[in-house]
Structure 1
Amino acid sequence: MARRAVEKELSRERIMDAARHLFITKGYRGISMRSIGQHLGYSHGSLYYHFKEKAELFYAIVVQDFDHLSQLCQQVTKDAPSEGLTKVEQLMLEFIKFGLDHPYQYEIMFMLRDEEILSYCRNEQAKCFDMFDFIARQFLKQECHPLESNPSFPLSMFLGMHGFISFYIQDRLTFEDIMPAAIAHVKMLSQRNYSLTS
């Protein structure tokens, strides 16, 4: 009965939130299931009720974070257009907002460089890029934009967004802190890519 109570109190979400922070601050190799348990104030044995091993826990975090980002980007397709922004610009802003407002998640998804865990991220990164490419092209088609037929535009926009996030994430600035700069950046990316096709 006591074990069931502990398992119920120590949810998957709590474990994942703690592990996400530790993976970023100490590195994947620098933590163990035992250290995650200690951080939470539980024995590491109670973690194994939810996750068989550290790799499974890490992958669960990666999948959850990419799913969250995907849902936010899909929501842009349903939202009404924002004044002064194209739908592609709205999509880029949503991506940037996610990165700045969820820095630990973003760092795990796109910025960790440990060879042991890159394979966990690569597949999800590819799916994320494919989703961005698909949604962006839908918007461009609706807007009769010449970029629709440019095969290189999604990657250059994607890298432009990532560079912006990578620069500002170091100072833990939120999207609200730098929203004017973010808007100017996505407009520049959109115009630059447009001019390359003209």
Structure 2
Amino acid sequence: MKRIVGMVLAGVLLAVLGVSSASAERQVGLGQLTELVAQRIEVGDLVAASKFGTDKPIDDPAREKVVLDQARASAIQLGIDPDETVIFFRDQIEASKVVQRGLFARWTAHPDQAPTTRPDLNEMRLKFDQLTTELLHQLRSTTYVRHTPIRCAVDLTTSSIVTGVQHQLDHLHTQALTEAVADICS
């Protein structure tokens, strides 16, 4: 039912904006950025599965610092605002923690839903690195949209709804998406 409601809402919003669902990706300037954000959030499920039932903490300040320092350095190389980039990636990290905490709570309350295999965290870091590179390029290519307040707000709302529907995000993952895109329009 939630999926149907989400699809209807996305269709209504796209119609109001004069965007057909077939051309939504081309028309919405932040569509690819939110798509990559959703992919990163979904990798958070695997991170949670790799940590659940171990002594690996959800919060890893040392690793977070490495990620943010690398993002800052890459932003400077790409000619995009390093402070905005660090804020964006801090939001990504916090969104991943939302997913991990939510899944830990779910799996603790319902052990029958807990993962039965433990993915390799190092393999997921490779996926995160790939997504980071793609996200940085999207940040660079969407600079104009992100700095045009009204257009950014409309594009972000539309692309978040479309992405949420396409990925069939549940409440937890929708909450993480909201966290991850909170500061895109700055």
Scaled to the shorter chain, the TM-score interval is 0.3 to 0.5
User: What TM-score results when the alignment is normalised by the length of structure 2?
Assistant: 0.34
User: What TM-score results when the alignment is normalised by the length of structure 1?
Assistant: 0.32
State the structure with bigger RCO (CA 8 A, min sep 6), 1 or 2. 2
